[in-house]
Amino acid sequence: MSSLKTAITPDLIRNIAIIAHVDHGKTTLVDSLFVQSGIYRDHEQVAERAMDHHDLEKERGITILAKNTAIEWGGHKINILDTPGHADFSGEVERVLSMVDGALLVVDAVEGPMPQTRFVLRKALANGLKIMLVVNKIDRPAADPSRAIDKVVDLLIELGADESQLEFPVVYASGLSGIASLTADGPFDDMKPLFQAILDEIPCPKGEPAEPLQYQVATLDYNDYVGRILIGRIHQGTLNANEPVILVHESGKTTQHRISKLYSFEGLKRVETEQAIAGDIVAVAGIPEATVGDTLCNMGNAVPVKRIAVEEPTLQMTFSVNNSPFAGREGQFVTSRQIRDRLQREIKTNISLRVEDGDTTDAFLVSGRGELHLSVLIETMRREGYEFQVSKPEVLVKQVGDERHEPFEEAALDVPDDMAGSCIEQLCTRRGEMQGMSSANGRTLLSFLVPSRGLLGFRSVFVRLTKGQGIMSSAFKHYAAWAGDIGKIRNGVLIANDQGDSTAYAIKNLEDRGVFFIQPRVAVYKGMIVGENNRSEDIVVNICKAKQLTNFRSAGADVMDVLATPQEVSLEFGLDFIANDELMEVTPQSIRLRKLNLNVK
């Protein structure tokens, strides 16, 4: 790969964000751009989905953290920023869009734009970004690119796009095959048409290198050798290594610092450089006090850039110290001080998150943009060795005049035709309103507007209703008037009455009571939830009861008892399942459900 130092003027720089719904192939598309731009050496092992380097991203197949990279094509430097496709990570989206001049809207040639495309696209249009449509997966058997384009036009009109934004260029591509063309019929040879379209259609950044410096911090990183690393865009001016600068904080306060290291991006790597110019996206070290939204300026010219506005959280849950009988057995960090420090460290980089002190010294109120946003934080802390317990998520209600307003989400369900009725019935009981319904090829696509609290616990029900054949996605829509009370939806639970190890004998005898969450020989304690009752009330069961041994041979002694497969308790299942009087105990090794009051009778 040739050096990116050829990009010495702003007109040779392009800054683009990639927008797409989950699983529409944007990260795979970026992989093909990497390979064909030449950032890899000959015979170098190429990682699949190189931009998704976080363990949770690889496991879930989604982008959680916004990442930036840079490639060279035709003497131009193209900064590519991969955005999360889910509205729960809106903080990442807001920061990315503040650094770019255009966006590639990637849609599936079969499905067209989906709900989570809407959220990021609305933000891009509000920022006045130039939109370029990439119809991906053009080689799928049921691909219908003209229908996908029509859906995009309808979506843009619905989102209030102006005439210039409706006249968008289109590129047809297959990220997996590494091919692109400006027409649906081809020819399809490589990704050159997409590269050239980016250079031709995406505007170069504004701002002159000779003007006073304005560098806005958009992302934070950390390195053991140089400390906190700032990543952002130079809106105007020139940035030099070892240069003294002024940091303008949110309060307007200014502090003086010196840039110890300056990095530019080449492929997936950071490369130390001496100078960077207006329009470029670079990393800076040596300023430990900076946070997201702050501005670096020249000495004597402290004029900040407008701060990044982030939408407020919609869900809240309580994180607290684990006080179950098994507390401290599996976790490395278990005290309130350690949990508090970890949460405070998180809000420095996760700007959509809010953390407040709870009613007691060992509880913290954590607010986020959605269930997925909070579950990713919980899973990350769990893998780092933290042990704690969390409450049921609750929606954050706003008071508008005399009315209570709550968050609503737009849910899209793709289900087999014969299962659509039960899904409609279930969402209607949760105060959902149907917005649209269409059927094709044996499957029905449903669109609903549902209160966020109505979707809490729905995903596990949806899997059961569709027998695993349904696809569901949702995205925050708006705040609206309180939709009314939602009756009790979940059945009661089976609660262990004593501490010990569960037995196959007890589980077999209690199978007609409901579905169990545990297997035999699992340690339980009094008040722990071991299953879901078939009826609406909670019942206490003796899950540790052992078979009494006698000298008499039983007639059925040689008959093997077969136990039903227990329901696996995952993080998402637990958050969906627990009620207001229940908690989820999270440790590096286990996820347990329990009653808030362990002394149940």
Nearest 5°: phi and psi at 216?
A: -105, 135
Identify the pLDDT of residue 22: 65
Q: Are 585 and 594 in contact, with CB atoms under 8 Å apart?
A: yes
Beta strands 130-136 and 170-174 are parallel
Neighbours of 414 (CB within 10 A): 17
Q: What is the DSSP letter of 433?
A: E
Nearest to 416 by CA among 447, 449, 441: 441
> Could you tell me where in the chain the CATH 2.40.30.10 domains are found?
214-298
The stretches in the chain having pLDDT less than 70 are 1-7, 22-24, 38-67, 85-92, 115-116, 119, 309-311, 550-560, 601
For the record, the structure tokens of 281 come out as 């996206």
Location of each CATH 3.30.70.240 domain in the chain: 398-481
Token readout for 20 is 């797409």
Q: Tell me which H or E stretch contains 463.
A: helix 458-465
Q: What is the DSSP letter of 553?
A: P
Q: Are 452 and 409 in contact (CB under 8 A)?
A: yes
CA dihedral 298, 302, 308, 312 (to 10 degrees): 140
Query: Are the C-beta atoms of residues 390 and 594 closer than 8 Å to each other?
Result: no
What stretch of H or E contains 119?
Answer: helix 115-126
Place of tokens 């089976």: 494
Three-state secondary structure call for residue 464? helix
d(C-alpha 160, C-alpha 17), whole Å: 20
Are the beta carbons of 395 and 407 closer than 8 angstroms? yes
Give pLDDT, residue 39.
Answer: 62
- What kind of fold does domain 214-298 have according to CATH? Elongation Factor Tu (Ef-tu); domain 3 (2.40.30)
Residue 310, pLDDT score = 67
| pLDDT value of position 55 | 54
Give the start-end residues of each E strand in 189-240. 214-223, 227-236, 238-240
Q: In terms of C-beta density within 10 A (0-12 exposed, 13-18 middle, 19 or more buried), how is residue 386 classed? A: buried
Which pLDDT does position 525 carry in this prediction? 93
Number of H helices, E strands in the chain: 14, 35
Burial 44-67 (b: 16+ CB within 10 A, else e): eeeeeebbbeeeebeebebbbbbb
| pLDDT for the residue 67 | 64
- Architecture per CATH, 493-547+563-595: Beta Barrel (2.40)
Output 428-437 pairs: Cβ under 8 A, ≥24 positions apart: 429/486, 429/487, 429/489, 430/454, 430/455, 430/458, 430/486, 430/489, 431/483, 431/484, 431/486, 435/410
pTM > 0.85: yes or no: no
Contact 30, 80 (CB under 8 A): yes
pLDDT at 552: 65
The class of domain 398-481 in CATH terms is alpha beta
Cα–Cα distance for residue pair 351/75, rounded to 1 Å: 36
Instruction: Please give the pLDDT value at position 45.
Output: 47
Classified by CATH at the fold level, domain 4-201 comes out as Rossmann fold (3.40.50)
Chain length of the chain = 601
DSSP three-state, residue 146: helix
pLDDT score recorded for residue 74: 81
Does the bond joining 187 to the residue before it have cis omega, within 30 degrees of 0? yes
Q: What is the 3-state secondary structure (H, E, C) of 332-397?
A: CECCHHHHHHHHHHHHCCCCCCEEEECCCCCEEEEEECCHHHHHHHHHHHHHCCECEEEECCEECC
Closest CA to 327 of 572, 598, 580: 598
Furthest C-alpha separation in the chain: 97
Helix (H, G, I), strand (E, B) or coil at 181: strand
pLDDT at 320: 94
